Amino acid sequence: MLATFAHEWPQKLLDELAQFGRYGLQFNQPLAPYTSFRIGGPAEMLLTLHRIENLINALDLLHRHRAPFLILGGGSNVLIRDEGVAGLVLLNQCREVRWPEGAPPLVRAESGAPLAQLARASLGRGLAGLEWAVSVPGTVGGAVVGNAGAHGQCTADSLRRIRLWRNGEVVEMAAHELAFDYRTSMLKRRLAGSSRPWVVLEALFQLQPDPTREAQKRAEAYIAHRRRTQPVNKSAGSIFKNPPGDYAGRLIEAAGLKGLTIGGACVSKKHANFIINLGDATAADVLALMTRIQEEVLRRFGVRLEPEIQII
Protein backbone atom coordinates (compact mmCIF):
# COMPACT_ATOMS: atom_id res chain seq x y z
CA MET A 1 0.00 0.00 0.00
CA LEU A 2 1.28 3.45 -0.85
CA ALA A 3 2.08 5.41 2.28
CA THR A 4 0.47 8.64 1.09
CA PHE A 5 -3.11 9.86 1.11
CA ALA A 6 -5.09 12.21 -1.12
CA HIS A 7 -5.46 14.89 1.55
CA GLU A 8 -1.66 15.14 1.76
CA TRP A 9 -1.25 15.93 -1.95
CA PRO A 10 -1.10 19.61 -3.05
CA GLN A 11 -4.30 20.63 -4.79
CA LYS A 12 -2.29 22.07 -7.67
CA LEU A 13 -0.71 18.66 -8.27
CA LEU A 14 -4.11 16.94 -8.23
CA ASP A 15 -5.49 19.50 -10.71
CA GLU A 16 -2.52 19.05 -13.04
CA LEU A 17 -2.81 15.26 -12.92
CA ALA A 18 -6.52 15.41 -13.72
CA GLN A 19 -5.86 16.94 -17.14
CA PHE A 20 -4.00 13.80 -18.29
CA GLY A 21 -6.68 11.27 -17.34
CA ARG A 22 -9.44 10.31 -19.74
CA TYR A 23 -11.96 10.66 -16.94
CA GLY A 24 -10.03 13.19 -14.91
CA LEU A 25 -8.75 12.17 -11.49
CA GLN A 26 -11.22 9.75 -9.88
CA PHE A 27 -11.43 9.11 -6.16
CA ASN A 28 -12.26 5.94 -4.22
CA GLN A 29 -12.62 3.87 -7.40
CA PRO A 30 -13.02 0.06 -7.15
CA LEU A 31 -10.08 -1.80 -8.67
CA ALA A 32 -11.68 -5.25 -8.82
CA PRO A 33 -13.20 -4.58 -12.29
CA TYR A 34 -9.68 -3.94 -13.62
CA THR A 35 -8.32 -7.33 -12.54
CA SER A 36 -8.91 -10.78 -14.01
CA PHE A 37 -9.55 -12.05 -10.45
CA ARG A 38 -12.34 -9.46 -10.00
CA ILE A 39 -11.03 -9.03 -6.46
CA GLY A 40 -9.61 -6.03 -4.64
CA GLY A 41 -10.43 -2.89 -2.73
CA PRO A 42 -10.57 0.66 -4.10
CA ALA A 43 -7.88 3.03 -5.28
CA GLU A 44 -7.91 6.22 -3.29
CA MET A 45 -7.07 8.01 -6.54
CA LEU A 46 -7.27 6.56 -10.07
CA LEU A 47 -5.92 8.11 -13.26
CA THR A 48 -6.78 6.29 -16.50
CA LEU A 49 -4.33 6.95 -19.35
CA HIS A 50 -5.15 6.24 -23.02
CA ARG A 51 -2.35 8.19 -24.73
CA ILE A 52 1.33 7.45 -24.20
CA GLU A 53 2.16 11.18 -24.19
CA ASN A 54 -0.25 11.70 -21.31
CA LEU A 55 1.26 8.77 -19.43
CA ILE A 56 4.75 10.26 -19.83
CA ASN A 57 3.55 13.72 -18.77
CA ALA A 58 1.84 12.30 -15.69
CA LEU A 59 4.95 10.31 -14.76
CA ASP A 60 7.18 13.36 -15.22
CA LEU A 61 4.88 15.44 -13.02
CA LEU A 62 4.88 12.79 -10.30
CA HIS A 63 8.67 12.55 -10.52
CA ARG A 64 9.10 16.30 -10.07
CA HIS A 65 6.94 16.16 -6.94
CA ARG A 66 8.61 12.94 -5.73
CA ALA A 67 5.12 11.47 -5.48
CA PRO A 68 4.62 7.69 -5.29
CA PHE A 69 2.30 5.75 -7.57
CA LEU A 70 1.25 2.26 -8.59
CA ILE A 71 1.03 1.29 -12.27
CA LEU A 72 -1.68 -1.21 -13.26
CA GLY A 73 -2.13 -2.74 -16.71
CA GLY A 74 -4.39 -5.69 -17.49
CA GLY A 75 -4.51 -6.83 -13.86
CA SER A 76 -4.10 -10.47 -14.88
CA ASN A 77 -1.27 -11.51 -12.60
CA VAL A 78 -2.12 -9.54 -9.48
CA LEU A 79 -4.08 -9.83 -6.27
CA ILE A 80 -5.12 -6.49 -4.79
CA ARG A 81 -5.78 -6.66 -1.08
CA ASP A 82 -9.26 -5.92 0.27
CA GLU A 83 -8.06 -2.67 1.87
CA GLY A 84 -7.33 -1.31 -1.59
CA VAL A 85 -4.53 1.11 -2.44
CA ALA A 86 -3.84 4.35 -0.60
CA GLY A 87 -2.52 7.04 -2.91
CA LEU A 88 -2.48 7.06 -6.72
CA VAL A 89 -3.00 4.23 -9.21
CA LEU A 90 -2.16 4.82 -12.87
CA LEU A 91 -4.29 2.59 -15.10
CA ASN A 92 -2.37 2.08 -18.34
CA GLN A 93 -4.71 1.69 -21.30
CA CYS A 94 -2.29 2.94 -23.99
CA ARG A 95 -2.85 0.35 -26.72
CA GLU A 96 -1.52 1.59 -30.06
CA VAL A 97 0.19 -1.02 -32.28
CA ARG A 98 2.34 -0.20 -35.33
CA TRP A 99 3.85 -2.45 -37.98
CA PRO A 100 7.05 -0.92 -39.41
CA GLU A 101 7.79 -1.88 -43.01
CA GLY A 102 10.90 -3.78 -43.94
CA ALA A 103 12.68 -6.99 -43.05
CA PRO A 104 12.82 -8.69 -40.66
CA PRO A 105 9.16 -8.11 -39.76
CA LEU A 106 8.73 -6.02 -36.61
CA VAL A 107 5.82 -4.85 -34.46
CA ARG A 108 5.78 -1.95 -31.99
CA ALA A 109 3.15 -2.17 -29.28
CA GLU A 110 2.37 0.27 -26.50
CA SER A 111 2.56 -1.25 -23.07
CA GLY A 112 -1.19 -1.23 -22.40
CA ALA A 113 -1.96 -3.32 -25.51
CA PRO A 114 -3.50 -6.74 -24.68
CA LEU A 115 -0.88 -9.41 -25.34
CA ALA A 116 -3.28 -12.02 -26.73
CA GLN A 117 -4.75 -9.46 -29.12
CA LEU A 118 -1.27 -8.60 -30.38
CA ALA A 119 -0.52 -12.30 -30.90
CA ARG A 120 -3.70 -12.79 -32.92
CA ALA A 121 -2.98 -9.70 -35.02
CA SER A 122 0.50 -11.06 -35.78
CA LEU A 123 -0.94 -14.37 -36.93
CA GLY A 124 -3.46 -12.51 -39.08
CA ARG A 125 -0.54 -10.91 -40.90
CA GLY A 126 1.11 -14.27 -41.47
CA LEU A 127 3.81 -13.74 -38.84
CA ALA A 128 5.19 -16.16 -36.28
CA GLY A 129 6.87 -15.58 -32.93
CA LEU A 130 4.02 -14.66 -30.60
CA GLU A 131 1.64 -17.55 -31.23
CA TRP A 132 2.37 -18.93 -27.76
CA ALA A 133 0.55 -15.88 -26.34
CA VAL A 134 -2.79 -16.25 -28.18
CA SER A 135 -4.61 -17.08 -24.97
CA VAL A 136 -2.29 -15.48 -22.41
CA PRO A 137 -4.05 -12.66 -20.53
CA GLY A 138 -2.50 -9.35 -19.59
CA THR A 139 -0.75 -6.53 -21.41
CA VAL A 140 2.48 -6.13 -23.33
CA GLY A 141 3.99 -4.12 -20.48
CA GLY A 142 3.14 -6.77 -17.92
CA ALA A 143 4.51 -9.47 -20.21
CA VAL A 144 7.83 -7.64 -20.48
CA VAL A 145 8.13 -7.02 -16.74
CA GLY A 146 7.23 -10.60 -15.80
CA ASN A 147 8.73 -12.33 -18.86
CA ALA A 148 5.37 -13.97 -19.49
CA GLY A 149 5.46 -17.27 -21.31
CA ALA A 150 3.67 -20.46 -22.25
CA HIS A 151 4.25 -23.65 -24.22
CA GLY A 152 8.01 -23.48 -23.80
CA GLN A 153 8.36 -19.93 -25.11
CA CYS A 154 8.47 -16.54 -23.43
CA THR A 155 8.48 -12.80 -24.05
CA ALA A 156 12.28 -12.59 -24.05
CA ASP A 157 12.46 -14.89 -27.09
CA SER A 158 11.11 -12.32 -29.55
CA LEU A 159 11.57 -9.01 -27.71
CA ARG A 160 14.16 -6.77 -29.35
CA ARG A 161 14.03 -3.59 -27.28
CA ILE A 162 11.76 -1.43 -25.14
CA ARG A 163 11.09 2.25 -24.57
CA LEU A 164 11.11 2.92 -20.85
CA TRP A 165 10.27 5.79 -18.52
CA ARG A 166 13.01 5.85 -15.89
CA ASN A 167 13.28 8.45 -13.15
CA GLY A 168 12.05 11.36 -15.24
CA GLU A 169 13.56 10.43 -18.60
CA VAL A 170 12.54 8.25 -21.53
CA VAL A 171 15.23 5.78 -22.59
CA GLU A 172 15.55 2.76 -24.82
CA MET A 173 16.91 -0.54 -23.57
CA ALA A 174 17.85 -3.65 -25.51
CA ALA A 175 16.22 -6.90 -24.44
CA HIS A 176 19.51 -8.33 -23.20
CA GLU A 177 19.84 -5.44 -20.73
CA LEU A 178 16.66 -6.50 -18.91
CA ALA A 179 18.27 -9.57 -17.29
CA PHE A 180 15.38 -11.89 -18.08
CA ASP A 181 14.91 -15.10 -16.16
CA TYR A 182 12.00 -17.48 -15.56
CA ARG A 183 8.94 -15.24 -15.10
CA THR A 184 11.01 -12.28 -14.04
CA SER A 185 13.26 -9.47 -15.21
CA MET A 186 15.34 -6.67 -13.81
CA LEU A 187 12.20 -4.51 -13.98
CA LYS A 188 10.19 -6.92 -11.85
CA ARG A 189 12.95 -7.25 -9.30
CA ARG A 190 13.03 -3.45 -9.00
CA LEU A 191 9.32 -3.40 -8.14
CA ALA A 192 9.92 -4.91 -4.72
CA GLY A 193 9.56 -2.13 -2.21
CA SER A 194 9.56 0.62 -4.87
CA SER A 195 6.91 3.35 -4.83
CA ARG A 196 8.25 5.01 -8.01
CA PRO A 197 8.84 2.14 -10.45
CA TRP A 198 10.28 2.32 -13.94
CA VAL A 199 7.47 2.06 -16.49
CA VAL A 200 7.52 0.23 -19.83
CA LEU A 201 6.07 2.51 -22.52
CA GLU A 202 6.50 0.45 -25.67
CA ALA A 203 7.98 -2.85 -26.81
CA LEU A 204 9.50 -3.81 -30.16
CA PHE A 205 9.20 -7.46 -31.17
CA GLN A 206 10.95 -9.20 -34.04
CA LEU A 207 8.78 -11.79 -35.78
CA GLN A 208 9.26 -14.25 -38.64
CA PRO A 209 7.32 -14.79 -41.88
CA ASP A 210 5.05 -17.83 -41.69
CA PRO A 211 4.06 -18.60 -45.30
CA THR A 212 2.87 -22.12 -44.48
CA ARG A 213 0.73 -20.91 -41.54
CA GLU A 214 2.33 -23.42 -39.19
CA ALA A 215 2.21 -20.79 -36.43
CA GLN A 216 -1.56 -20.49 -36.87
CA LYS A 217 -1.89 -24.27 -36.47
CA ARG A 218 0.21 -24.17 -33.32
CA ALA A 219 -1.90 -21.33 -31.95
CA GLU A 220 -5.10 -23.28 -32.53
CA ALA A 221 -3.59 -26.24 -30.69
CA TYR A 222 -2.54 -23.98 -27.80
CA ILE A 223 -6.04 -22.53 -27.51
CA ALA A 224 -7.59 -26.01 -27.52
CA HIS A 225 -5.10 -27.17 -24.87
CA ARG A 226 -5.91 -24.18 -22.68
CA ARG A 227 -9.63 -24.88 -22.90
CA ARG A 228 -9.05 -28.52 -21.94
CA THR A 229 -6.69 -27.91 -19.06
CA GLN A 230 -7.39 -24.50 -17.53
CA PRO A 231 -10.48 -23.07 -15.85
CA VAL A 232 -12.55 -20.34 -17.47
CA ASN A 233 -13.57 -18.94 -14.07
CA LYS A 234 -12.25 -15.62 -12.79
CA SER A 235 -8.63 -16.12 -11.72
CA ALA A 236 -5.19 -14.50 -11.80
CA GLY A 237 -3.60 -17.26 -13.87
CA SER A 238 -0.91 -19.46 -12.37
CA ILE A 239 -0.63 -18.68 -8.67
CA PHE A 240 2.77 -20.22 -7.94
CA LYS A 241 6.01 -20.46 -9.90
CA ASN A 242 7.04 -23.91 -11.01
CA PRO A 243 9.87 -25.12 -8.76
CA PRO A 244 13.04 -26.33 -10.50
CA GLY A 245 12.42 -29.65 -12.23
CA ASP A 246 8.77 -29.89 -11.26
CA TYR A 247 5.35 -28.28 -11.64
CA ALA A 248 3.46 -26.42 -8.94
CA GLY A 249 0.16 -27.80 -10.23
CA ARG A 250 1.42 -31.39 -9.94
CA LEU A 251 2.55 -30.88 -6.36
CA ILE A 252 -0.71 -29.20 -5.32
CA GLU A 253 -2.76 -31.96 -6.92
CA ALA A 254 -0.56 -34.68 -5.37
CA ALA A 255 -1.16 -33.06 -1.99
CA GLY A 256 -4.88 -33.67 -2.50
CA LEU A 257 -5.78 -29.99 -2.57
CA LYS A 258 -7.86 -29.76 -5.75
CA GLY A 259 -11.26 -28.33 -4.85
CA LEU A 260 -10.11 -27.01 -1.47
CA THR A 261 -12.19 -23.93 -0.70
CA ILE A 262 -11.81 -21.06 1.74
CA GLY A 263 -14.61 -18.52 1.60
CA GLY A 264 -15.24 -17.73 -2.05
CA ALA A 265 -11.79 -18.89 -3.23
CA CYS A 266 -11.27 -22.42 -4.54
CA VAL A 267 -8.37 -24.47 -5.89
CA SER A 268 -9.48 -25.30 -9.41
CA LYS A 269 -10.46 -28.91 -10.05
CA LYS A 270 -9.24 -28.49 -13.61
CA HIS A 271 -5.75 -27.13 -12.88
CA ALA A 272 -4.43 -27.15 -9.33
CA ASN A 273 -2.16 -24.12 -9.81
CA PHE A 274 -5.20 -21.91 -10.40
CA ILE A 275 -7.26 -20.39 -7.61
CA ILE A 276 -10.67 -19.34 -8.88
CA ASN A 277 -13.12 -16.76 -7.62
CA LEU A 278 -16.43 -18.52 -7.10
CA GLY A 279 -18.17 -15.16 -7.18
CA ASP A 280 -17.72 -13.54 -3.80
CA ALA A 281 -14.08 -14.27 -2.97
CA THR A 282 -12.06 -11.72 -1.04
CA ALA A 283 -8.33 -11.18 -1.19
CA ALA A 284 -8.17 -12.51 2.36
CA ASP A 285 -9.77 -15.76 1.16
CA VAL A 286 -7.17 -16.14 -1.60
CA LEU A 287 -4.25 -15.35 0.70
CA ALA A 288 -5.47 -17.85 3.29
CA LEU A 289 -5.80 -20.50 0.59
CA MET A 290 -2.33 -19.74 -0.76
CA THR A 291 -0.86 -20.11 2.73
CA ARG A 292 -2.65 -23.41 3.24
CA ILE A 293 -1.31 -24.71 -0.10
CA GLN A 294 2.25 -23.65 0.71
CA GLU A 295 2.13 -25.26 4.15
CA GLU A 296 0.73 -28.55 2.86
CA VAL A 297 3.11 -28.85 -0.10
CA LEU A 298 6.06 -28.04 2.17
CA ARG A 299 4.90 -30.59 4.73
CA ARG A 300 4.32 -33.33 2.15
CA PHE A 301 7.16 -32.76 -0.30
CA GLY A 302 9.64 -30.36 1.33
CA VAL A 303 9.11 -27.81 -1.45
CA ARG A 304 8.32 -24.17 -0.70
CA LEU A 305 6.16 -22.74 -3.47
CA GLU A 306 6.83 -19.13 -4.40
CA PRO A 307 3.98 -16.91 -5.60
CA GLU A 308 3.99 -15.99 -9.29
CA ILE A 309 1.29 -13.37 -8.82
CA GLN A 310 2.04 -9.92 -7.46
CA ILE A 311 0.25 -9.12 -4.20
CA ILE A 312 -0.60 -5.42 -3.97
pLDDT digits (tens, 9 = 90+) for 52-63: 999 999 999 999
Alpha-carbon distances, residue 111 vs 12, 125, 141, 142 (angstroms): 28, 21, 4, 8
Helices (H), the chain: 11-18, 52-64, 115-124, 140-146, 155-158, 186-191, 214-229, 248-254, 283-301
Start-to-end CA distance of the chain, whole Å, equals 7
What pLDDT shows up at residue 141? 97
pTM score: 0.93
Does residue 227 have an active-site annotation? no
How many other CB atoms are there within 10 angstroms of residue 285's CB atom?
21
Strand partners, 264: none
Of 23-32, 48-57, 124-133, 183-192, give the lowest mean pLDDT range. 183-192
Average pLDDT over residues 173-201: 89
2 has pLDDT over 80: no
Give the separation between CA 205 and CA 240, rounded to whole angstroms: 27
Q: What is the mean pLDDT of residues 13-31?
A: 96
DSSP 167-209: TTEEEEEEGGGG--BTTB-HHHHHHTT-SS--EEEEEEEE-EE
Torsion angle in degrees (nearest 10) through CA of 42, 276, 50, 153: 140
Q: Provide the 3-class DSSP secondary structure of residue 266.
A: strand
Percentage of residues of the chain with pLDDT beyond 90: 91
pLDDT in tens, 159-186: 999 999 999 999 999 999 999 998 899 9
Contacting residues for 166 by C-beta, under 8 A, at least 6 apart: 198
* Structure confidence at residue 5 as a pLDDT band (50, 70, 90): confident
> Which residue among 76, 111, 122, 238 is the active-site one?
238
**Residue 183 is among the residues annotated as catalytic for this protein:** yes
pLDDT on residue 6: 72
**Alpha-carbon span 24 to 103, nearest angstrom:** 41
Q: What pLDDT digit, counting tens, does each position of 226-266 carry?
A: 999 999 999 999 999 999 999 999 999 999 999 999 999 99
Q: Which domains does the chain have, with CATH numbers?
A: 6-92 (3.30.43.10), 97-216 (3.30.465.10), 232-311 (3.90.78.10)
Whether 308 is a known active-site residue: answer: yes
Q: Walk across the sheet containing 275-277 and list its strands.
A: 234-235, 275-277, 265-267, 261-262
Q: What was the pLDDT predicted at 1? A: 39
Identify which of 7, 43, 59, 47 has the alpha carbon closest to the alpha carbon of residue 23.
Answer: 47
Rounded Cα–Cα distance for residues 146 and 189 (Å) = 9
Residue from 122, 183, 185, 218 carrying the catalytic annotation: 183
d(CA 46, CA 21): 9
Helix (H/G/I), strand (E/B), else coil: 276: strand
Q: What is the pLDDT of residue 197?
A: 87
| Burial class of residue 44 (count of CB atoms within 10 Å of its CB; 0-12, 13-18, 19+) | buried
Residues whose CB is less than 8 angstroms from the CB of residue 183 and which lie 6 or more positions away in sequence, other chains included: 146, 147, 148, 149, 241, 308
**Is 65 buried (19+), middle (13-18) or exposed (0-12) by CB count in 10 A?**
middle
Q: Is the pLDDT of residue 208 over 70?
A: yes
- The fraction of the chain above a pLDDT of 70, given in percent, is 98
Q: In angstroms, how far is CA 42 from the centroid of its own chain? A: 18
pLDDT of 193 reads 63
The pLDDT value given to residue 254: 98
Q: Which of 219, 215, 201 is nearest to 105 (CA)?
A: 215
Q: In the prediction, which pLDDT does 98 show?
A: 98
Give SS3 for 245. Answer: coil
Q: Quick one: DSSP state of residue 50? A: -
pLDDT-derived band of residue 190, with 50, 70 and 90 as boundaries? confident
Task: State mean pLDDT over 81-101.
Answer: 97
Examine the pLDDT at 4 and tell me if it is beyond 70: no
Q: What is the mean pLDDT of residues 183-207?
A: 89
63 or 195, which is more confident? 63
User: Is the pLDDT assigned to residue 102 strictly greater than 90?
Assistant: no
